[in-house]
Structure 1
Amino acid sequence: MAALLASRKGRTRRAAFRGVVAIAGASATANLIAKPLFPRRRPAAELVPAHRRIPDPPTSSSFPSGHAASAAAFATAVVMEAPIAAAVVIPLAATVAYSRVHTGVHWPSDVAAGAVLGASIGLATRHWWPLRREAPADTRHQRQAAALPEGEGLLVVVNPHSGDDSFDQSEEVARNWPKAAVIEPSKDQDLLEQLRTALDTAEEPIRALGVAGGDGTVAAVASIAAERRLPLAVLPAGTLNHFARDVGAEEADSVVRAVDNGAAVAVDLSSVLVDGLPRRWFVNTASLGGYPDMVRLREKWEGRWGKWPAAAAALVRVLHASRPLKVRIDGETRQVWLLFVGNGSYEPKGFAPTSRPRLDDGLLDVRYVRADMRWSRTRFVLAALTGALHRSRTYCQQDRPEVEVEVLGNKVAIATDGEVGPDGRHFRFTSHVAALGVYRESEGVAP
């Protein structure tokens, strides 16, 4: 069932992963902890009709039922992510649970206890892995934007190297916006300069920008859109599409309708100044510490191993070799393992930020893990595993409109929206309220 659910991206794939995690937790708890603590004799085989007996009955403790626990955990976890699957997984879980009594290997109370245990563990996965917010982030800022039927007056940047290589984004853009001008990033020119040149030399006035690419490409085009006060149309074409998800642009048809009708909102953008270099914009997150090194290693290895295996190997290497950074954060000296800055306040406030409820709060989400305390990494991991990060002194989270970070040592690289930026020692992060207009259907606007 998990394999079937995982065959499709989105909610059902997340449901499959959550279900498998819940099964692992329920099985381990039932078989490795509960059964040894509560030994109980199983029903006598002669009490069950011969045609219902299984040929090799288990001999472990009868209480609780591990099968019922795993089935209930999987069903609970899947239904939390994908309620539409309830019609299939709940009857399946109930059948598994009943079968343990039907075959005479468990008492009804074993099955009931196992089901309660499994459902509790399925629900508990939210403690470490919060459910993803399905609705787009709210914003109270409306923005006037040109209505561009068939994309007339629209300049779209298409990154053919983003997302699924088997899907041609240029064909998708041409189908949705046949009158739009389309460019692809050049290997010989910086994308920002390429886009400025295209805007300055266009034969017809460009009234809006579009982008089909990952978050790094979106951030680059968004910076020019904010600079030129042009609305932006985002087509989700990357691997994760964090910004497209939060801004309500996960469905291409919805974005096309918004462009046709001129429906738009304004959202916040954030920027960072690195040692006085030109402002670097980001739509999702920026970070200092181990993450930029991980990105470098992933890019170095992904040609041979593929993106996800390379990312996993890079993460292991960086965690093993990481060294703390000595920094001054708004005048306060700290040693940190890494520092995270989000464009907007993310939820949850634990160490796994997943979504933004709003895109108009004018705040940066600043988080860092302290390295100037004894056993800081161990304490951090334990707090993360137990869901107690909000009480841990090793983990700090604040929402603020700007923050200044000075690295007291060698220069370090910054990563913004998954792209490694320049090295530096002085980093000034700022939130810019309603700096970007984005095409989105009007029902996403909050009062």
Structure 2
Amino acid sequence: MGQAESGGGGAAARLLARLAVLAAVGVLVVLVVALGETGLVVAAAGLLGVVVCAAGVWWLLAYRGVVRLFGAAVAVAAPVLVLVLFTVEGLWLTALLLAVCWALALACARAALRRSDPRRERRAVAAHRPGRPVLIMNPRSGGGKVGRFGLADRARERGARVILLDPGAPADVAALARAAVAGGADLLGVAGGDGTQALVAAVAAEHDLPFLVIPAGTRNHFALDLGLDRADPARALDALTDGEDVRVDLGVVAGRAFVNTVSFGVYADVVQHPDYRDAKAGTALDLMPDLLVGEGVRRLEARADDTPLSSQRALLVSNNPYLSPDVLGGTGRRPRLDSGELGVLAIRVEGAAQAADLAVRGAQSRGLTVLTARRVEVTVAGAEVGEISVAVDGEALRLPTPVVCALRPGALRVRVPRDRATVPVAAPPVEWRRLLRLAFGRSRRAAPEP
């Protein structure tokens, strides 16, 4: 099938788009016609609740003492008072109806846009069984997944040599990988977090060896976007006996490889603190006021290709773009790992008003910039030389400025199981103009079969 909008898939996408538009119209009808002033009160109260809650969260994060307590109280009280208003005034049914209509509109819109996109599958190449595979495993990763799933024994049963890291001593995993290559390894793999994955992936890419990803870390974002089963990391070992290769891009920051993201600014400063690993929430709350409104706050200056990004609070550069800013909450997805482009997400929030604008408008807010680039250069405002805090795949580093992020397209050959889970098509952001064209525009004819 040539175009995604043709055939059965195109008909389904068009129907879903029309349902989305119908549900959105239903929201307007409920607001303006059917319920009159009541509907407008519900919408205004809900919007005001979001704005006030976002302002409270800003005060909670940016200040200490009485202001922090006030911000926490506001952040909690705002949604509670909105619910109380709906209940006392008998508006809860109206609010529920509006919420259902809007949720239906968004669900249908995303489903329609997902179906209308051409699904470019990663081209996999059948792979021969490796003769001397070497797997590096971190027993501490993911709360002990290596031992819990018996990964070392299962790997040895499939003919792999396993290097278990000593939990009590730091290890140079890149050096271990290079030694394995010197010893004749024809496949490298890692059971560990994404930071460890990236270090060994760089060695595999350097020697054009297949790289096996075993999702034994905590989040395993790289494995998720490869379509691997994070709930059962042992399934990744099937690639040793029945695997195929896919080519993906490899990010590079200051000469160091990364598979997911590089963070600058507030988050990168927080993870540098020695107490962060043991008390993440408490450490972040303690440091945030100094990082957000303190006298020594340093702003980031960046250039994404030819686009300048001035006075940013935080910057995230990803190996291929995430589909939506949900990456900030750890739920974002990358529909592709072979686009040849970096994803760039920059945040510039200076106060409660901008925090509220970001909460209400999301990606349309002036405080959030989302774009793609092939090269990103980051430095600190007003600083010619020096070091900057950087979090590379969650690992805390200090790097000299300017820090340059780039991409090596197709540099990494990943060995995956032939029967791995299909990579889900992530829900795209809702673009109503595009949706209207899909719903009521002229359909394209299918391209002839090759």
TM-score tier after normalising by the smaller chain length: 0.5 to 0.7
Aligned partner of 2:311: which letter? Q
Cα distance, 1:226 vs structure 2:
0.9
Task: Output the CA distance in 2 between the equivalents of 1:175 and 1:138.
Answer: 33
Cα distance, 1:421 vs structure 2:
2.1
How do 1:25-424 residues align onto structure 2 when only pairs under 5 Å count? 28=80, 31-35=83-87, 63-64=90-91, 113=94, 115-116=96-97, 119=100, 140-143=122-125, 145-148=127-130, 153-165=132-144, 168=147, 171-178=150-157, 179-185=159-165, 187=169, 189-200=171-182, 202=183, 205-250=184-229, 251-252=232-233, 254-273=235-254, 279-297=255-273, 299-303=274-278, 310-322=279-291, 323-329=297-303, 332=308, 334-349=310-325, 352=328, 354-370=332-348, 376-390=350-364, 392-407=365-380, 408-409=382-383, 410-424=386-400
Q: Residues 341 and 367 of structure 1 are in contact (CA less than 8 Å); yes or no, is this contact kept in structure 2?
A: yes
Cα distance, 1:254 vs structure 2:
4.1
Task: Output the CA distance in 2 between the equivalents of 1:25 and 1:258.
Answer: 52
| Larger relative contact order (Cα-Cα within 8 Å, sequence gap ≥ 6) | 2
Aligned partner of 1:312: which letter? A
Task: Output the CA distance in 2 between the equivalents of 1:123 and 1:25.
Answer: 28
Cα distance, 1:383 vs structure 2:
2.7
Cα distance, 1:289 vs structure 2:
1.0
Distance 1:142 1:402, change over 3 A: farther
**Percentage of matched positions with identical amino acids:** 29
Cα distance, 1:147 vs structure 2:
1.6
Task: Output the CA distance in 1 between the equivalents of 2:379 and 2:151.
Answer: 44
- Which segments of structure 1 move beyond 6 Å, counting only runs of 4 or more? 24-27, 121-126
Structure 2 unaligned segments of length 5 or more: list them: 1-75, 292-296, 426-450
Residue by residue over 1:352-391, the C-alpha shift from the partner in whole angstroms, topping out at 9 and shown as x without a partner, is 37110111111101121236xxxx343442233113332x
Structure 1 unaligned segments of length 5 or more: list them: 1-23, 36-59, 67-109, 274-278, 304-309
Residue by residue over 1:191-215, the C-alpha shift from the partner in whole angstroms, topping out at 9 and shown as x without a partner, is 2112212331x3xx31111111111
User: If you compute each CA radius of gyration, which structure gives the higher value, 1 or 2?
Assistant: 1
Residue 405 of structure 2: SS of its match in structure 1? strand
Cα distance, 1:427 vs structure 2:
1.2
Aligned partner of 2:372: which letter? D
Aligned partner of 2:85: which letter? I
Distance 1:188 1:214, change over 3 A: closer
Residue 431 of structure 1: SS of its match in structure 2? strand
Residue 354 of structure 1: SS of its match in structure 2? coil
Q: TM-score, normalised by structure 1?
A: 0.63
Q: Residues 255 and 439 of structure 1 are in contact (CA less than 8 Å); yes or no, is this contact kept in structure 2?
A: no
Task: Output the CA distance in 2 between the equivalents of 1:402 and 1:216.
Answer: 21
Cα distance, 1:419 vs structure 2:
0.3
Task: Output the CA distance in 1 between the equivalents of 2:214 and 2:170.
Answer: 25
Residue 263 of structure 1: SS of its match in structure 2? strand
Task: Output the CA distance in 1 between the equivalents of 2:235 and 2:415.
Answer: 9
Aligned partner of 1:258: which letter? A
